[in-house]
A and B are shown apart, each in its own frame.
Chain A
Amino acid sequence: MCTTCGCGDGEVKIDGDDPSHGHEHVHADGTRHSHGHEHAGDHAHDHGSRYAPAHSHAPGLGARRMVQIEQDILAKNNAYAAENRQRLADRGIFTLNLVSSPGSGKTTLLVKTIELLKGRQRVAVIEGDQQTSQDAERIRATGAPAIQINTGKGCHLDAHMVGHAMGKLALADDSLLMIENVGNLVCPAAFDLGEAHKVVILSVTEGEDKPIKYPDMFRAATLMLMNKCDLLPHLTFSVPRAIEFARRVNPGIEVIEVSATTGQGMDAWLAWLEGGAAAARGQRQDSVSSLKHRVAELEAQLAARDV
């Protein structure tokens, strides 16, 4: 279990998974273990070799040697993320990873956003929380498809979980996918899920110095949404100072002030979203038309040979 935040393996649950449908493996050395996951996504798994080589304490082992690895520790997660990113790009889906501390108003903001986009932009949501499917239910009440991932003791979503959840959601081409990460300003910063951007939400009821207290997250984000701005008259929170702190760790970060309650700033946020969605759609159309062009070329070549 993680010493800082309690994350651990083996308790991840995605909506609709039935743990009783697991399968049992018997390894070469007789070790048994069972899996309770469902393969809705279509990517390969690599089950490590934890059991196989560990028990070969046979005499006559070779001498010590060096093995070059030169791999990033997060390489495995990054490979899953790259796969997700490709799957999303192929379908023109603009994907955001929403991160914040617990209680910043992410889900409320998301519900409001979906309502305002109704009829303009299709939205699907992946909800990450340690326990309960309350947030996914709140999203589904708006009519948008949503799936809940419970990370158990885990403190963040990873690209593997998200890949599975994507397989279970009925994602439409050219739509918007919002991934609401576990409320935590630390760990989700390091885990790429395959999103186009991380969007960090800082509510004005928190400290304005959060960007310098949790710099990794604010450095990883493209956009900072300052939420609950309707409460500013009652608080000592200084918006310019919060922006200054955020730009100290990430000079290029964009900032939009919003209030999900009053609707303040929502126009700017929706325009940002629609701009990104249009770009993703454009890229897909470009790649589709270039593929069509290639198919036409190849067909012409084939026709020339096919006498």
Chain B
Amino acid sequence: MHEMSLAEGVLQLIEDAAHHQEFAKVTKVWLEIGQLSGVEIEAMKFCFDAVTRDSIADGARLEIITAPGTGWCLECSTTVSMTEVYGECPQCGGYQVQVTGGTEMRVKELEVV
């Protein structure tokens, strides 16, 4: 998608937290990325390294927590697991599935010194 903008957003959240919680260096960052969020993990890691250079998070390790994709099938009236946004219902094969989970893009926590 647009991992560079997202990585900049991550750095902003880190800098805001540094400001309010008074830490000087970030050593690890946990991101929760949903399977259906459209984020390319490899591109995210690459962009994160690029935008954090010479910042408070320079050299920090990025840990990705993957959140599973889920949807609500209108035909089956039940929650089903999904691997693609436009994927079919694994039960009935229909496409009337509304995504209900797996679009997360969150900064969970930081390890700081």
Q: Residues of A with Cβ closer than 8 Å to B?
A: 1-5, 7-9, 46, 48-50, 52-54, 56-57, 61-77, 155-156, 186-187, 190, 211-212, 215-216, 219, 244-245, 247-249, 251-252
Contact = CB atoms under 8 A, between A and B. Distances in A.
Contacts of B107: 69-71, 73
B56 interface: yes
B8 to A, nearest CB: 7
Interface of B: 1-6, 8-19, 21-25, 27, 31, 38, 43, 46-47, 54-56, 58, 74, 84-86, 95-99, 104-113
Nearest to B38: A216
A61 B25 contact: yes
Contacts of B98: 251-252
A64 B38 contact: no
A49 B17 CA distance: 10
Given A248-B95, A249-B86, A75 B4 contact: no
A159 to B, nearest CB: 12
A7 B4 contact: yes
B32 to A, nearest CB: 9
A3 B18 contact: no
21 contacts: A2-B2, A3-B47, A46-B16, A48-B16, A49-B16, A49-B19, A50-B15, A53-B18, A53-B23, A54-B56, A64-B27, A64-B112, A65-B23, A66-B109, A69-B107, A70-B106, A70-B107, A71-B107, A73-B10, A190-B38, A247-B95
Nearest to B33: A73
A158 B16 CA distance: 19
B55 A50 contact: yes
A50 B56 contact: yes
Contact of A67 (B1, B21, B84): B21
A71 B105 CA distance: 9
A5 B40 CA distance: 14
Nearest to A48: B15
3 nearest CB pairs, A to B:
A2-B4, A248-B95, A48-B15
B95 to A, nearest CB: 4
A251 B96 contact: yes
Contact of B85 (A8, A66, A187, A215): A215
Contacts of A57: 24
Contacts of B110: 66-67, 69
Contacts of B14: 69
Nearest to A69: B107
Nearest to B6: A73
B86 A215 contact: yes
Contacts of A67: 17, 21, 23, 109-112
B96 A48 contact: no
Contacts of A212: 86
Nearest to A154: B5
